Structure 1
Amino acid sequence: MTEALIKRLGEEAGVGLPDVRVTGADPVLPSVFRIGTAAAACVGAVTAAAALYWTRQGGQVGAGHPQADPDAAMPEVSVDVRHAAAAFLSERYFRIDGEGMGLWAPLSGDYRTSDGWIKLHCNFDHHRDAVLRALRLPADAGRAGVSSACESRTSAEIEDAVTREGGCAAAMRSRAEWLDHPQAQEISRTPVVALSRLDVALRPGSAARNPLRRDPTGPGRVGRPLEGVRVLDLTRVIAGPVAGRILAAHGAEVLRVGAAHVPEVPGLVVETAFGKRSCHIDLRTEAETLRELVRRADVVVQGYRPGALADRGFGPEDLAGLRPGIVSVEISAYGSRGPWGRRRGFDSLVQMVCGIAHEGGDGTRPRPLPCQALDHATGYLAAFGAVAGLLRRADEGGSWQVELSLARTARWFDDLGRVDPERATSDGTGPGESGPSGIERGGQVLDGEPGPSVDDLMASMDSPFGTLTYVRPPGRIEGAEPYWATPPPRQGEHPAGWATTTG
């Protein structure tokens, strides 16, 4: 099944992926959803695409070198289901000097309403403030006050009020209710990884340049699959950062662009930054600095709310005008079209609205997946889409746009079917909720079931933050095992420029 899923993802993106050897099978996590299968398919797709790109670029003789053989033998590509599933729990297993990290603010979590349940996302202060305004509560309100305010209102009423205030909330819906929703019907008409060509006229002053990959390795050296590929990472909170992180594991130069005034989840911004460099750019005053980076990039990955960057002159067509040959990757919660096309959202909220949490709790109370599976899956699929765009660019020229959403990934999960309930633990409190030693979620510490054994999948690295213990990147390419060459940097540590000087 997994091998067929990988092939299908390639076909939808217009890329003939090599065979992938898959070991292991579901269930590996406590859920009736096929999380292990989905994880292995997503990881397998990006790994196969990276192997194909590496081979086409000359593989071991150096990318773009005259000795490169486009008909060179394809290296073996493999993925282990247990390792892929563990990677979907990477933030749960991550340790800094032996200490885990809390991922949820005190007011984040599930609340009973007059007719069901609502999930409130308050991890960022401005989202918390929006929730309190919507519930007409004071700025110092605690969990008890929020709970009381929710009990007297309907789920839909709260969802609408929080959204109007610029916050993030999701009413629990059943699968059937979601499938009837106009937004669900809109996203069902798109591929899981929507790859399309950008045909735009060059702007005045924009010079078309050869989009072929640079050759930093030289003859006779063993290059990494994506070495020489420059990736701008304009993302935060799991999905987008995971995409940049796995591209870095295959050798891409990934520059993560943040801003000093934009809030981050402290632990996550470290855990997802392996192999990257980090700079700060304030788009309110330094837009030209970002334009200069785009002009020398190969891939731009962005996870802002649909339309937000386009409003500042950095939409896909703008990027293609600045850099002919660009691959623009856009990740959103609910897609860019339809009634919810510009709505803010996160993995936990999408699980709530699309029926996953409803099914996990048998409709009586929300029970999410045992990990942020929509985030991680979308992240690996975004990385696959980026490499697929590079492959299409090499074959056909042009600039390319890749669109993904957590809600479309959730629909893909649903289409995979279910694991036999007798073979899966379905109480929803597995390692994705609690991690190996418990994490805070919604103001509570959950002590869930043990997950798969991961000792053999872990590694450690010294960093500016201390000794980091982490899940090694999943997926294998014969002769080019993925790894992170550098530890996570401090935010804004590097100048806003590319490390390599060629191109």
Structure 2
Amino acid sequence: MRLVGDERVVAGPYRVAHLAARCVGLVTEAAGELSRSRGTEPGPVSVDVRHAAESFRSERHLLLDGAPVGDLWAPLSGDYRARDGWVRLHCNYPHHEAAVRTVLGDDVAAAVAARDADDVVESVLAAGGAAAALRSPAAWADHPQGRAVAALPVVTVERVGDGPRRTLPRADRPLAGVRVLDLTHVIAGPVCGRTLAAHGADVLHIGAQHLPVMRPVLVDTGFGKRSARLDLRESEDSARLRDLWADADVMVQSYRPDSLASKGFGPSDAPQGTVLVTLSAYGEVGPWRGRRGFDSLLQLATGIAYRDSDAPVPLPAQALDHGTGWLAALGVITALRRRAAVGGTWHVRVSLARTALWLDSLGRVDSVEDQAPVDAYLSEVDSQLGRVRHVRVPGDLPGAPPRWDHGPHVPGSDPATWW
């Protein structure tokens, strides 16, 4: 893998651009090896570092018919000073905003200022909301959840059952013919599905009419996917999903641990020979395994946003989300190659908290924002939604270049079937 360009192109001390290039490079290399096994010589892998970095904030570059798709942050989302520190509230979904208002009333800033940070967080979480308190990296390392996450690999690829060897036939794209069920939301999980689609997978995203969405992110991560809707509260739709899973190679899900398993879609329910991918916020072990979390919250909780200047300082990209999505795609390709070699049913696990620890371990650089235009990394495509400007897929694989076959589809516009 060859990384091309200076990594000091996004502001801040963390090596965000290097993380992005490494994630892109690892996936592209793995796709190349899979392509070689399918009879196509991939050629040398290289990654333009700035292209990778901009892909890690692709939602910022998104335009639909020449205009922004919508706000990325709700007005109430943000950092608030508590009596003994800082709290971040995530209110991008209506039910999360309602939980915050139930606990803190209409004058949220004043209510937070009158309470300790951990008290605010626990109260908001108990009401069904999403929040995190700022910790230093040292405090996170000493926290029971921090210690639990540190004991995990960056990507866990575990055999959880038997299954026959499934060798993929000759093809000109690494994931051609691979069927992927995408039951994900927000950024990390959808980025995984988008990445797999770029390498040729048939990705079917399953949403539900009653679940809230962040429209800019939904559009940005919809490239190369079909979009259907099922309501797992209905027995007929649940049975339909089970049938789809039986004919899939991969299912990717990013709901809280045990949420889908309680409905019969957990690791023990995986059809023989398939790959299940689980993305979580804080990991699947430890006292916080079931805690709600988003990239901006994890940055505070894990100490990434901590500075001696007191107030939290965010990363220049939702790098924990994007990085975790690319790492999940790496896990999928790894599991598919192992399935081809030895058979089995596989479970891939990644988490934003573990990605944060990896980013922290990369060290620090002095970086400032590169103000040069990014036009070289952008393209436009007509879609069912309109004409979309977007960041192209990063990662150079000459023999099987990654690409999306189409732009994002209207949510729920496709049948819940395989082609």
> TM-score range with shorter-chain normalisation?
over 0.9
Select the residue among 115, 131, 147 that pairs with 1:169. 131
Structure 2 Cα separation of the partners of residues 391 and 364 of structure 1: 46
Aligned partners of 1:357 and 1:367 also within 8 Å: yes
Amino acid at match of 1:309: L
Which one of 83, 86, 109 corresponds to residue 78 of structure 2? 109
1:116 CA drift (Å): 1.3
Question: Hey, what does 1:49 align to over in structure 2?
Answer: 30
CA RMSD of aligned residues (A): 1.4
The one-letter amino acid paired with 1:370 is P
TM-score if structure 2 supplies the norm length?
0.97
The percentage of counterpart residues that share the same residue type is: 50
Indicate the SS of the match to 1:470. strand
Counterpart Cα distance in 2 of 1:451 and 1:178: 34
Q: Corresponding residue for 2:156?
A: 194
Which of 225, 240, 247 in structure 1 is aligned with 2:189? 240
**2:18 paired residue among 37, 43, 53:** 37
Deviations 1:49-79, CA, capped at 9 Å, x for gaps: 11111110222xxxxxxxxxxxxx5521111
Q: Please state how far the C-alpha of 1:451 moved relative to its aligned partner.
A: 4.4
- Tell me the residue number matched to 1:490: 410
Q: Does 1:330 align with 2:278?
A: yes
> How many Å separate the matches in 1 of 2:396 and 2:251?
25
CA–CA separation in structure 2 for the residues paired with 1:191 and 1:452: 36
Q: What are structure 1's unaligned runs of at least 5 residues?
A: 1-19, 60-72, 201-207, 218-222, 431-449
The separation in 1 between residues aligned to 2:190 and 2:180, in whole angstroms, is: 11
Q: Is the contact between residue 82 and residue 452 of structure 1 (CA under 8 Å) also seen in structure 2? A: no
The offset of 1:480, in angstroms, is 1.4
Q: How many angstroms apart in 2 are the aligned matches of 1:122 and 1:402?
A: 29
TM-superposed CA distance for 1:452, in Å, is: 4.9
1:266 deviates by 1.1
Larger RCO (CA within 8 A; separation ≥ 6): 2
State the one-letter code of the partner of 2:101: L
Pairs within 5 Å for 1:23-422: 23-59=4-40, 75-100=43-68, 101-135=70-104, 137=105, 141=106, 145-199=107-161, 211-213=166-168, 223-285=172-234, 286-319=237-270, 323-359=271-307, 362-419=308-365, 421=366
Query: CA-to-partner distance for each residue in 1:305-355, whole Å, 9 max, x for gaps?
Result: 011010000001201xxx211111110000011110000100000001111
Are 2:400 and 1:480 equivalent residues in the alignment? Answer: yes
> May I ask how many residue pairs the two structures share in their alignment?
416
Cα deviations across residues 350-399 of structure 1 (Å, max 9, x unaligned)?
0011111113xx34101110110000000111101100110111111101
**Preserved CA contact (<8 Å) 1:174 1:358:** yes
Distance 1:363 1:187 in 2: 27
What secondary structure is seen at the aligned counterpart in 1 of 2:405? coil
Larger radius of gyration: 1
User: Does the Cα contact within 8 Å between 2:273 and 2:339 map onto a contact in 1?
Assistant: yes
User: Which TM-score applies when normalising by structure 1?
Assistant: 0.81
Given that 1:258 and 1:279 are in contact with CA atoms closer than 8 Å, whether structure 2 keeps it comes out as yes
Q: Tell me the residue number matched to 1:460.
A: 380
Gaps of 5+ in 2: none
Cα distance in 2 between the residues matched to 1:291 and 1:365: 47
Contact 1:327 1:386 in 2 (8 A): yes
How far residue 415 of structure 1 moved from its aligned partner, in angstroms, is: 0.4
Cα separation, 2, equivalents of 1:345 and 1:293: 28
SS of alignment partner, residue 411 of structure 2: coil
Question: Secondary structure of 2:173's match?
Answer: coil
Distance 1:451 1:176 in 2: 33
Q: Is the 8 A contact 2:164 2:344 kept in 1?
A: no
Q: Deviations along 1:155-198, whole A, 9 cap, x unmatched?
A: 01001111111210001111111111000000000000011111
Work out whether residues 29 and 451 of structure 1, in 8 Å CA contact, stay in contact via their aligned partners in 2: no
8 Å contact from structure 1 (residues 236, 264) kept in 2: yes
Question: In the TM superposition, what whole-angstrom CA distance separates every residue of 1:6-51 from its partner, at most 9, and x where no partner exists?
Answer: xxxxxxxxxxxxxx12212321100111111100110001111111
Q: Distance in 2 between matches of 1:363 and 1:404?
A: 31
